[in-house]
Every structure is written in structure tokens, then in C-alpha cells.
Amino acid sequence: MTVAQTAREDEKNLLPVFLSPTDITTNLACVEDDLKSSEEMAIRKKRCQLAMLSFFCGAIWLMVLFVPYVLLLQSPDEAHVESPKREWGTPETGLDEFGSWDVGINVHGWTRADCAANANWTMTRFPMPPYPNHTVQYASASFALPLTLEVLHLVGRGSLARGTVHITDTGVASSGEVIFNVEIGFLHNKTFDETTVCLMRPRQNRYGVGIFSPPGLDSPEYAGSFTIDVQIPPGPSRDSPSLVKQLELDMPQFEIKVDHLQDTVLFDTISLSTSNKPIIADSLAARRATLRTSQAEIEGRFNISSSLSLITSRAPIRADTQLRNSGSLQDGATALWARTSFPGPLDLTAELISPPSIPGTFQIDARASESPLTIRTFVAPPPSPPPSQPAPFPGPFPPARPPFLALTALTSGAPASVALHPGWEGTFALRSSEVAPSLEYDPAAPDPSGRGRTRKVQIVREREGELGGYVEWAPGGQGDAGGRVVVGTMRGPVALRF
């Protein structure tokens, strides 16, 4: 076979491999499938990339939205991020519903930079039995401020600022000065070195004393305690007490005690604020007074002519009050507000005092949560006339209208009980979610005014868990035009007595 013939035979053998229509169709189909698979893979890859991008974008948005919220839920120490531009003692958070403070929270923005003159200390040392090689150190200093200043204040900030504040009338009579005696007891020198006590620069007519220390020194080795005496000069007589225009105490972690000052000192405005420590007042006379703490009790006797606020949480409130009102429209109502929560009971007694011939106006608003609530009110009898003069009216009370009283008493999960003075007139509404309200009164009770009138009690609404109506002394009573009383609770009994 020649070479040409051999080449033609090889060509014939090769042609089916490259030019067979069936093979070409099959190969094209495979290629098309491969292309489709490649396109599908590319599409799937793009979808995966888009899904991953969406996931990461969503995660970033969640962090932006919720991380600040989580930080707000943390305690001040947990959420604290140190900044070289911020001094310790600056504001870190606001007030809760009851206005409670924690260590390091500076509501009014006071810092050590507000100090004008540091304390001049007097140092003493005492052995600490049974450790003869250890001593307790005390440092004491005093500050004097004029009694006539518009605002006197005392501020404490930081983890080392804790102890007791005692408000007394032991100042020098007729001196015209309020003395702030400050003493700190400590074991470790760092406790003293890290604490600044000073006379503060005046701000908005405020003059006072500040105690500043850094946060975070909570170790027992740095334990220390302040004892602060605020000594106010007494007035010359009970009819002429010393007048303090405004006294503010903003002292977290300090127990606050007030001596029997009702007869010697009169406050136009007094504000006592702490946290986790009680406020106890033997007696206090003021036009306006605010006592605020958290997780600690408030207890005392108060003589008030404008408003009294008692606010705490998870602790009892026990207050014996005298509420005075002139009866004039210009002065408005004399008000008492009280707030607490489980497990502290709320127990108030209010004596309503107004001129014999003018009925005063009073407002009481007391609310608790999961805590028993008890309120008792009564009206002070008018002053007796001199023995040489006959009584201007028959009976123990004047023939004027009784004081106007608007009272709200609400709690939950516990009893709510209100007792009104016998001469009260007005509408009442009692509500309880589970127990039928109780209304207790003596239908044959004598007329408190001595005019022989008859008490009339009219029920206008009575159904499950609700009881409403009005009380008046007829004839000539106020009835539904008089005062208003609302008493309510959930999961507990309700009682109204008069």
C-alpha cells in the first residue's frame, strides 16, 4: 500500500471521531449542561454572598440598636467607661421613679473642682483593741456659714463618702451661724488621702460643704466612716424659732437623723436625700419638706404648712403629720405625698389644722405596691377661749364647714385602710379586685359641730368590687360638693371608716 492510500485510510478512521453528528450533538449537550451548571453555581454563589452580606449588616444594626440599651440596664459601675476628660463624681445616670441614687452618681453635677477651700484637719489616733499595733485615726474639721444664706447645702460623692448626718439645734444661740462639724474615722491612710472635704464655691445662691472621693475603693481595707453634725442655732423661744430659708442634703449612703427641732427651728424649704440608708426625724417644722431615699425606711413627725413628700422603695414609711392650711385661695392646698413598695408598709397619720372660721384645703396622695397602706386623719379642735370669755359657739367644734380633703390611697396585693375624721363630708369610691369593700360608720354619731345635725350616707354605686357614694351632715351639708376620697387595691381588702 502506498503512502497516499495509507493516509486516506487513516483519515477515514479519524473522521468518525471528530465529525460524527451524534457525537457532536452529545458533546454540545454536555457543554450546554456544563455551562448551565456553571451559571447556576455562579448565581448560587452570588446569592450566598448577598445572604452573608445581609447577615453581617443586620448584626451590625442589632449591635447599634441594642448595645446602648444593654448598657443603660447595667449598673453604673458595670457600664462605667473611664474617660481621661471626665473627673470622678460627674453624672452617670438619672433618677428612677423614686429618685434613688447610687454611689458615684452626681445628680447636680458637683465635683471636686467646685471646692473653694479645703478643710483644715485636726488629727487624733486611738489604739484598736485587741490589735495593739493597729490604730484608728480620726480627722475633724469645721465650717461656719451664715444662717441668712438663701440656700445651705451638703453634698457627698464617691465610694468613701458614707456615714451619718445629724441635724441639731446645738448651734450657739444668736450667733447667726450654722456649723458643719465633719469627722472621718479610718484605718488606711489612702482612705484619708483620696478624700476631699471642702467649702464649696457658691453656685445659684448655694453655699455649703462637699465630700468627694473616687469610685471603686470598696475594699474593706479602705473602710472609713463620716460623722457630720449640722448645728443650727435655736430661736429665742417657741414662738420665735430660727428661720432657715433652704437646707439641701444630697448624701448617698449616709443615714440622716433630725433632732427634735419643731419648737426651735423653722425651715422654709428642706430637702433630705440619701440612698440605702434611713431618714429619721424626731420632729421637723417646715413650709415645704422632701425626704427621699431607697431601700431604707422614712420615719418621723412633721409640721407642714405647704407640702410634704416622703419617697422610698422596698422599705416602710411611718409618719405622724400636722398639716396646716390658712384656708385662703392664694395659698392653695396643703399636700402630703408618700410612695413606697414591697415589703415596706405605708402608715400615715394626718392632723388637719386650719383657722376656726375658715375651712382649710388639704390633699393626701399615698401609693404603695405589694404593701399594706393605712391612713388616719382627724381635725384639731379650735383653741379654747380664755376663762373670762364664753365659748363663741356651742360644742367642741365651730359651726364652720369641715376642712376640704381630697385623699387617694392605692396599693396592690395588700390591705388598704383609711379612717376619716367624723366631720368629713364628700364623695367616696372604694375598689378591690377580689374582696368586697368595707364601709364602716356610726349612723347615730353626734354632730361634731354641736348643731344637732344628722349624718346622711348615700350609696350611689354598688357592684362586685366597687362601692361609691357620698356623706353629709344634714341639713346644710356639702354632700357630693365636698371632699373626695378614693381607696383601692388589688388582691386585698379595702376599708373606709368615718
Do 254 and 128 share a structural domain? yes
Do 322 and 284 share a structural domain? no
Q: What is the mean pLDDT of residues 397-412?
A: 79
- With bands split at pLDDT 50, 70 and 90, how would you rate the model's confidence at 170? very high
Do 264 and 204 share a structural domain? yes
For the whole model, what pTM was predicted? 0.75
The residue type found at 208 is G
| Contact partners, residue 396, CB within 8 Å, separation at least 6 | 381, 448, 450
- What gap in Å lies between CA 359 and CA 483, rounded to an integer? 12
Do 334 and 260 share a structural domain? no
Cell numbers standing for residue 78: 458595670
- With bands split at pLDDT 50, 70 and 90, how would you rate the model's confidence at 49? low
| Domain-located, residue 134 | yes
What is the per-residue pLDDT for 31? 34
The residue type found at 182 is V
Do 363 and 448 share a structural domain? yes
Q: What is the mean pLDDT of residues 385-399?
A: 45
Do 332 and 274 share a structural domain? no
Do 359 and 433 share a structural domain? yes
Q: Which range of residues forms the domain containing residue 213? A: 87-288
- With bands split at pLDDT 50, 70 and 90, how would you rate the model's confidence at 4? very low
Whether the predicted pLDDT of 259 surpasses 50: yes
Do 278 and 342 share a structural domain? no
Do 354 and 228 share a structural domain? no
What is the per-residue pLDDT for 149? 94
- With bands split at pLDDT 50, 70 and 90, how would you rate the model's confidence at 497? very high
| Domain-located, residue 27 | no
**Is residue 336 within 8 Å of 308, Cβ to Cβ?**
yes
Count structural domains, the chain: 2
| Domain-located, residue 101 | yes
Do 455 and 493 share a structural domain? yes
Q: What is the mean pLDDT of residues 231-241?
A: 91
> Using the 8-state DSSP alphabet, how is residue 446 labeled?
P
Cell numbers standing for residue 94: 438619672
Q: Which of 288, 305, 334 is the last residue of a domain?
A: 288
Do 320 and 221 share a structural domain? no
Do 275 and 150 share a structural domain? yes
What is the per-residue pLDDT for 16? 37
Of 72, 235, 237, the C-alpha closest to 169 is: 235
